[in-house]
Amino acid sequence: MQEEILLAFIVLITSGMSAITGMGGGMLLIAILPTFLPANILIPIHGVTQLTSNVSRAFLGYKDIYYKAVIKYFIGSLIGVSISYSFFLYVSFSYIPLFIGIYIILSLWSKTFSSFIKKFDNYFILGFIQSGFALLIGVTGAMSIPKLMRDCKESNQVIITAAVLSAITHLLKIIVFIILGFTFFDHIYLMLYMSVGAIIGSYLGTFLRTSISQEKLLIFMKILLTFFAIKSILIFIMSV
């Protein structure tokens, strides 16, 4: 029970961060979770939590959704997840903390990697890649932010539309895990606690969006992400 409450509090914070900045909370959560959860349940539990977080955030700001992006992204996501599913069957769960750690460090500190990611300037391709890779590393939501920043009129529209796109990714990811036979019901209480934290975090973050410095929060998140990414890699190394 104590661990569930602690995770709910952590999710409240990460969900709130995403509601304020539009990104980073899901990545921070996936970096923290290997400390608490075994690798074989990490991504599906994260998926349920992030689906709740993104849907609640999108619901609170539904008037700002940029619908032109959603359909193309959804079609690309369907194809990407279908192809990724074939490869996922042959990947050992023990490698997941390693994949997560490497992806986060490259995203934060490699200009070459960041420039490569930003080249996918099409919602169909973004959906294909973002949702496809999410099966292996849990979260890739920040990939769509640069494109949305160019297409949307203001920051609220970017944040809310990014939540919708991420919700699509996590929903498809959950469906894949159901097909694979993952029994979500075995972890129902954990998911309930974390989902409640996600909803509260979305509400608080939406409320505080205009009163907190996004620049300072992003710097703080970058430091935390780096710490937990290194920790995820060390968890893998120590398990070998």
Determine the pLDDT at residue 157: 85
Determine the pLDDT at residue 165: 93
Of 13-17, 101-105, 107-111, 195-199, highest mean pLDDT: 195-199
Domain boundaries, the chain: 2-239
pLDDT grade for 112, boundaries at 50, 70 and 90 = confident
Distance CA 93, CA 127 (A): 24
Determine the pLDDT at residue 240: 65
pLDDT value at 65 more than 80: yes
pLDDT value at 193 more than 80: yes
String of b and e for 104-143 (b: at least 16 CB within 10 Å)?
bbebbeeeeeeeebeebeebbbbbbbbbbbbbbbbbbbbb
Place of tokens 């498809």: 172
> 103 versus 43: which is more confidently predicted?
43
